[in-house]
Amino acid sequence: MQFQFAQQGLTWHDTYFLAEGLLNTLELAASATVVGTIGGVVLGWVRTVSVTARVATTPIVDILRSVPMIIQLILANSFLSLAGFSTSPFIFGTVALGAWMAAVTAEVVRAGLLSVPPQYGKSARSLGMNRRQELVYISLPLAFRTALAPWINLVLSLIKDSALAGVIGYVDYMRATQTLITRTHETWVLLLGAGFLYFIICYPVSKYSRRLERKIAV
Amino acid sequence: MNGYHFYWSTVWQSFPLMLAGAWVTIQITFLAFIIGTVIAMPMAVARQKGEGWAYRVSTSWVELARNTPAVFQLFVFYFGLGAFHINIPSYAAVLISVSFNNAGYMTEIFRGGLSAIPRQQMSAARSLGMTSPQSFMHVIFPQMFKVIFLAYITQGIWGMLNSSLGMLVGLQDLTGATQYAQSVSFRTFEFFIVAAGMYYLIAKGLQFSALIAFRLMYRS
């Protein structure tokens, strides 16, 4: 008797699998964005005000930016496992993507803070604000204006990079697509579906950020 | 560390394999950088023009390259073409997809640079009797590269980072070779930390040599 595979073609149940993958992609991107942005704002502020901190953190920022994300993911996965944190791929992905996001956001935040004329800060201080008030009410809002568009671009990079989380076993949209391609061999439908999905997430946002860039440049 | 014992000797045994992988990575980085540049130069001019079929083609290229994951682009060229029984080696697939990505990003970088060149430069070149391509090659592009140099080199490094996706299609680049080497002993951490160090050195080496080349070219 010849061996026969169970049903191989695409079925409607697979859309559920893909939807789950999409949800996982968005969850990972969102959590890495939150972690990375909070870390990046703190790191960027520290790097702006203290020369010592800048010198001390430069190698870390530098390394995170010149090592491929796929290797950072594998390292986060294996290192955290060695260190005894046997948690989910979601956490590993958040750590790796969040660390990268923090490093690049720090530079954007620093550029934003440096774009605030020093006189503004001094005026705020002379009006009787303390350093924290000056930062929260004067410098950060002004820095936000400059940093917003580049930050949006970083979030888009993060969403696209999260497609690599499949390497450490996280079933994101790309991984779900790959799994279905392996089973059904409907390569083009699934692959173009994935491309289309990432495109409709990223395209409007990147259009918006470019408009924002132009508006701020004027 | 939970009694984990690091074994570095297995890494050194496979080090020649990783070095060969690093060489593949450098090749792809360099070639994709050149191919991307050659494609991006006319595309940037077309984008600058703002109309016509060349504008539409290059705009679609730019938006596709910038708004989809690099891994998707690689899969299209490897598995996508494979589904049409066009089986290209993984080396070619990685080279094509990284070049595609580079060209898209570089077009936007070049366009930004072109808009920084005063219009009169073009008129002056044309009035000296140069043809349009000549004015671009001898007058406009040399000035443009000076403006966009840093962003341009950063894109080259991005290309190198993207070439690491070769691992996913079985290419023995630095990441792929490391993955292959560690699959014998499963000393994942040791192997990949060494690979990360090598990537860092390659990135710094490329940045440094690009800076030297820039200084030599624009000595003034």
Among A180, A124, A128, smallest CA distance to A8 is for A180
Q: Which has the closest alpha carbon to B214: B145, B126, B119?
A: B145
Q: Could you read off the pLDDT of A99-117 as tens digits, one per residue?
A: 999 999 999 999 999 998 9
Note whether residue B198 is domain-resident: no
Put simply, the answer to whether A75 touches B67 (Cβ < 8 Å) is: no
Residue in chain B nearest A157 by alpha carbon: B69
Q: Is A55 near chain B, with CB under 8 Å?
A: no
Interface A-B: count of C-beta contacts within 8 A: 102
Q: Which domain holds residue B154?
A: 20-171
pLDDT exceeds cutoff 60 at A192 = yes
Neighbour-count burial of B48, counting CB atoms closer than 10 A to its CB (0-12 exposed, 13-18 middle, 19+ buried): middle
Residue B213 lies in a domain: no
Measured between beta carbons, the chain B residues lying within 8 angstroms of A185 are 83
Question: Does residue B126 lie in a domain region?
Answer: yes
**Distance between CA B150 and CA B200 in Å, rounded?**
18
- In this structure, what CATH number is given to the domain that contains residue B91? 1.10.3720.10
Break chain A into its structural domains and give their ranges.
26-171
Residues 6+ apart with CB under 8 A from B72: A163, A174, A191, A194, A195, A198
Instruction: Tell me how far apart the alpha carbons of residues A91 and A85 are, in angstroms, rounded to a whole number.
Output: 10
Q: Which two three-digit tokens encode residue B139?
A: 């007058």
| Residue B78 DSSP one-character state | I
Average pLDDT, chain B: 92
Asked whether the beta carbons of residue B79 and residue A181 sit closer than 8 angstroms, the reply is yes
Contact B22, A71 (CB under 8 A): no
Question: What is the Cα A139 distance to its own chain's centre?
Answer: 24
- Interface check for B120 against chain A (CB to CB < 8 A): the answer is no
Q: Nearest 10 degrees: CA dihedral of A164, A169, A175, A176?
A: -150
Rounded Cα gap, residues B75 and A21, in angstroms:
17
Which residues of chain A lie closer than 8 angstroms to B67, CB-CB? 156, 198-199, 202-203, 206
Give the distance from CA B4 to its chain's centroid.
Answer: 38
> What would be the CATH architecture of the domain defined by A26-171?
Orthogonal Bundle (1.10)
Asked if pLDDT for residue B4 goes beyond 80, the answer is: no
**Residue B46 in domain:** yes
Tokens encoding B67: 């708004």
Domain count, chain B: 1
User: Any CB–CB contact under 8 A between B26 and chain A?
Assistant: no
With respect to residue B83, please indicate whether it lies within any of the assigned structural domains: yes
**Lowest-confidence pick of A11-15, A47-51, A200-204, B52-56:** A11-15
What is the C-alpha separation between B196 and A69, in angstroms, rounded? 10
pLDDT confidence bin for A5, thresholds 50/70/90: low
Is the pLDDT at A6 greater than 70? The verdict is: no
Distance CA A208, CA B173 (A): 37
Residue A63 to residue B196, Cβ atoms within 8 A: yes
Instruction: Give phi and psi for B42, each to the nearest 5.
Output: -65, -35
- Inter-chain touch B200–A191, beta carbons under 8 Å: no
Residue that is written with structure tokens 């750590």 in the block? A95
Contact call for residues A173 and A109 (beta carbons, < 8 A): no
Residues of B in contact with A70 (CB under 8 A): 164-165, 167-168, 175
* Per-residue pLDDT tens over the stretch A165-187: 999 999 999 999 999 998 888 88
Element (H, E) at A152: helix A140-161
Beta-carbon contacts of residue A134 (< 8 Å; ≥ 6 apart): A121, A124, A125
Q: Does A154 touch chain B (CB under 8 A)?
A: no
Residue type, B138: H
DSSP letters of B42-72?
HHHHHHHH--HHHHHHHHHHHHHHHHS-HHH
A204/B contact by beta carbon, under 8 A: no
Q: What is the pLDDT of residues B96-155, one digit of tens each?
A: 999 999 999 999 999 999 999 998 999 999 999 999 999 999 999 999 999 999 999 999
Radius of gyration of chain B (CA): 21
**What is the least distance, in Å, from the CA of B127 to any CA of chain A?**
33
The distance from CA A173 to its chain's CA centroid, rounded to whole angstroms, is 16
With tokens 């789950």, the residue in question is: A20
Which residue in chain A has the smallest CA separation from B205? A66
Judge whether B169 and B93 are in contact, CB under 8 Å: yes
Tell me the shortest Cα–Cα distance from A141 to chain B, in angstroms: 27
Confidence of residue A81 (pLDDT cuts 50, 70, 90): confident
